């Protein structure tokens, strides 16, 4: 075996999906004897430590993006935070240059952190957002022009999808991206065979506030009666909602507990966040998808999965959970394609040659 490499990985803090999809990369490189440094915030560290504590953690501030309460204000709220996002990109690049002076790295992997590239060290960015969705064609052209410029500063772009963009549709259209490699499905979960169904419905919440809380309240008000329900709130900070008869509440689950819970649930209700969708595919689960109001990526992905007849969707604004659940039970979904879940390993091996 060649000399162990020292690898720096930095996932974005915009939701937990960026850090969870880095877990297969971390575990694979660790299995080969390489050293991993993870630049992250405290919440991300808690998630990773459920899988391994044999890595070095480097404190790194997140972007701390928040969403608007109303769909009509979503894009305005994001636009108003652009100066903060740009400042975060600049600051993380300055942070990286200081870090590299203190510690020698052989490889840098950034998950959607556009400032985490270095001109003297091989740097790769993980993103499926090659064609960011926007409300109109002009804003799409402008945003994606900037997006391509930022991505092309890296040595290559690693896309968590396949060459035919089967999972993410037009989001992974690689037009204008100079160097690209396809990782395939990046899910830390494993399909557990022969488990009996313990819950009729599993609700998985995630994402920035206040939209997480708004959906949580609406779902609790509409929970079906006489159904076995597991409700994972997606709160890393414990608040301990009491169980309500047929409903079991969990603030946050990671690792084997979440894996088993999904496999033991007949119907999943969740956001159409990309990492969540990769988990559903890996575990062969169909779902009722509720995209975050106004978030064009999640709205596109919910439509894409519905068009493929892999899942169905419901809208948060006019949610009728009883009807959506009845529709789910009456549908016959298409099976997922037979994806190669080990594809990422070839890309990772080539990066350290």
Residues in the chain: 353
Give Cα separations from 185 to 188, 291, 352 (angstroms): 10, 20, 20
Residue for token digits 């929970």? 223
Average pLDDT over residues 153-157: 97
Q: Is the pLDDT of residue 12 over 80?
A: yes
Q: State the Cα–Cα distance between residues 210 and 284, nearest whole angstrom.
A: 30
Residue 294 pLDDT class (50, 70, 90 cuts): confident
Query: What is the model's pLDDT at position 81?
Result: 73
Q: What is the pLDDT of residues 52-82, one digit of tens each?
A: 888 999 999 877 766 667 766 666 777 777 7
Query: What is the model's pLDDT at position 86?
Result: 86
The token pair at 328 is 């789910």
Percent of the chain scoring above 70 in pLDDT? 96
Q: State the Cα–Cα distance between residues 280 and 269, nearest whole angstrom.
A: 11
CB 117 within 8 A of CB 153: yes
Q: Is the pLDDT of residue 157 over 90?
A: yes
Q: State the Cα–Cα distance between residues 139 and 336, nearest whole angstrom.
A: 33
Query: What is the model's pLDDT at position 248?
Result: 94
Residue 1 pLDDT class (50, 70, 90 cuts): low
Name, in order, each residue with C-beta under 8 angstroms of 230's C-beta and a sequence gap of 6 or more. 198, 199, 201, 202, 203, 247, 248, 250, 261, 265
CB 18 within 8 A of CB 12: yes
Query: What is the model's pLDDT at position 244?
Result: 79
Q: What is the pLDDT of residues 295-346, one digit of tens each?
A: 899 999 999 999 999 999 999 999 999 999 999 999 999 999 999 999 999 9
């Amino acid at each position: 075996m060649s000399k162990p490499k020292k690898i720096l990985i930095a996932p974005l803090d915009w939701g937990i999906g960026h850090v969870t999809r880095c877990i297969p990369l971390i575990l694979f490189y660790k299995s080969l004897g390489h050293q991993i440094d993870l630049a992250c915030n405290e919440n991300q560290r808690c998630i990773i430590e459920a899988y391994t504590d044999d890595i070095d953690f480097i404190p790194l501030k997140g972007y701390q993006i928040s969403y608007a309460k109303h769909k009509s204000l979503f894009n305005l709220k994001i636009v108003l935070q652009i100066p903060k996002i740009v400042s975060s990109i600049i600051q993380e690049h300055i942070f990286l240059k200081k870090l590299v002076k203190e510690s020698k790295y052989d490889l840098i992997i950034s998950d959607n952190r556009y400032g985490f590239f270095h001109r003297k060290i091989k740097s790769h960015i993980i993103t499926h957002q090659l064609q960011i969705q926007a409300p109109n064609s002009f804003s799409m052209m402008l945003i994606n022009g900037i997006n391509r410029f930022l991505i092309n500063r890296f040595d290559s772009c690693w896309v968590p999808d396949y060459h035919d963009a089967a999972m993410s549709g037009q989001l992974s259209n690689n037009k204008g991206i100079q160097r690209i490699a396809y990782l395939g499905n990046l899910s830390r979960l494993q399909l557990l065979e022969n488990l009996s169904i313990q819950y009729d419905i599993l609700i998985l919440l995630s994402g920035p506030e206040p939209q997480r809380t708004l959906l949580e309240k609406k779902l609790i008000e509409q929970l079906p009666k006489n159904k076995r329900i597991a409700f994972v709130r997606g709160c890393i900070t414990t608040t301990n909602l009491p169980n309500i008869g047929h409903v079991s509440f969990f603030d946050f689950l990671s690792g084997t507990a979440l894996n088993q819970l999904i496999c033991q649930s007949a119907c999943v209700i969740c956001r159409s966040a990309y990492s969540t969708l990769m988990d559903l595919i890996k575990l062969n689960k169909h779902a009722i998808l509720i995209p975050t109001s106004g978030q064009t990526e999640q709205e596109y992905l919910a439509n894409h999965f519905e068009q493929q007849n892999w899942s169905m969707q419901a809208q948060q604004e006019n949610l009728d959970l009883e009807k959506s659940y009845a529709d789910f039970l009456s549908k016959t979904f298409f099976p997922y394609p037979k994806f190669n879940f080990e594809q990422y390993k070839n890309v990772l091996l080539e990066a350290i040659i």
